Amino acid sequence: MKVYDLTFLFEEPDKSPVTVKVVEGDSILDAALDNDIDLHHNCGGVCACSTCHVYIEEGMEYLPEITDKEEDFIDRAINPRLESRLGCQCIIGGPVVVRIPDQSVLLGH
C-alpha cells in the first residue's frame, strides 16, 4: 500500500496550507473528511453535485482522467477553471497539491 503527500491550499486568507498522508486509492474528498478539512459534499461523494469542487495545483497526472459526467457538474460549479476537478472523483495515485475554493460561498453541507 503506497502513501503519498496531499497538500491542501485554501482560498480563505486565514487558513494555512495543510499536508496530510493519504493511501493510494483514497479520494481527495476522503482525505479532507479524514483530516477535518472543510470540503462540502452535498451529494455524499457520488458525483451528483459540484460542492466538492477543487483546483488541482500540482499532480493532475496522478489522478484519473476526468469523465463526461464530472465535467458536466464542474460546469455548474462556482468559478470553474481548466484545473477544476471534483474531490469525490479524484482518486489519489501520487503526490497532489489541491486548492479548496472559499467554502463560505456555498450553501448547505
Domain range summary for the chain, segments of one domain joined by + = 3-102
pLDDT at 108 (0 to 100)? 47
Q: Is the pLDDT of residue 22 over 60?
A: yes
Quick one: pLDDT band at residue 99, thresholds 50, 70, 90?
very high
Q: Read off φ and ψ for residue 68, nearest 5 degrees.
A: -60, -40
3-102 belongs to CATH 3.10.20.30: yes
Which set of grid coordinates corresponds to residue 11? 482560498
Q: How many residues belong to the chain?
A: 109
For the whole model, what pTM was predicted?
A: 0.92
Contact 21, 3 (CB under 8 A): yes
- Across all residues in the chain, what is the average pLDDT? 94
